A = this chain, B = another copy of it.
Amino acid sequence: MTAEADPPPFFRAHVFVCCNRRPDGHRRGSCAARGSERLRDYMKARAKELGLEGVRVNMAGCLDRCEFGPTVVVYPEGVWYRAETTEDIDEILSAHLRESGRARRLMLTERDVAPPKA
């Protein structure tokens, strides 16, 4: 079976917010330790209030870009963001999920990779 025969997208935009929590003091830290659970809750609620059709916001396990967290990834685009505040979340909702553009200031790039293991 080829990609041409895939069913249509189930969600227009599927957003995953890393909610992994590591113990305090871990070398890499974690998104939950940086407050991601509250940001996930806020993003879900605001997406609903804004009436964004076809947008789903989910928590996820460790997305492996811990150093840049709290991290958010939007599929199918595969665009990654760092969101530290509810204002950052608002910017992603507005620029990316409502306007189908990018919240450029917050985007992770290919340079945002974990440092080598100690």
Tell me which residues across on chain B come within 8 A of A75, comparing CB atoms: 14, 75-76, 78
Does A7 sit at the interface, judged by CB under 8 A? yes
Consensus secondary structure, chain A interface: loop
Can you list 12 A-B contacts (CB < 8 A)?
A: A2-B101, A6-B78, A6-B79, A10-B73, A10-B108, A14-B75, A14-B78, A16-B58, A56-B64, A58-B62, A76-B76, A76-B77
10 nearest A-B pairs in the assembled complex, by CB-CB distance: A75-B75, A1-B102, A59-B61, A58-B61, A76-B76, A1-B104, A7-B109, A9-B78, A7-B110, A60-B60
Cα distance A9–B14 in the bound complex, in angstroms: 15
Does A50 sit at the interface, judged by CB under 8 A? no
B108 engages A78 (CB within 8 Å): no
Report the nearest B residue to A57, measured CB to CB.
B61
Identify which of B16, B77, B80 contacts A60 (C-beta below 8 A): B16
Identify which of B56, B60, B102 contacts A6 (C-beta below 8 A): B102
Tell me which residues across on chain B come within 8 A of A60, comparing CB atoms: 16, 58-61
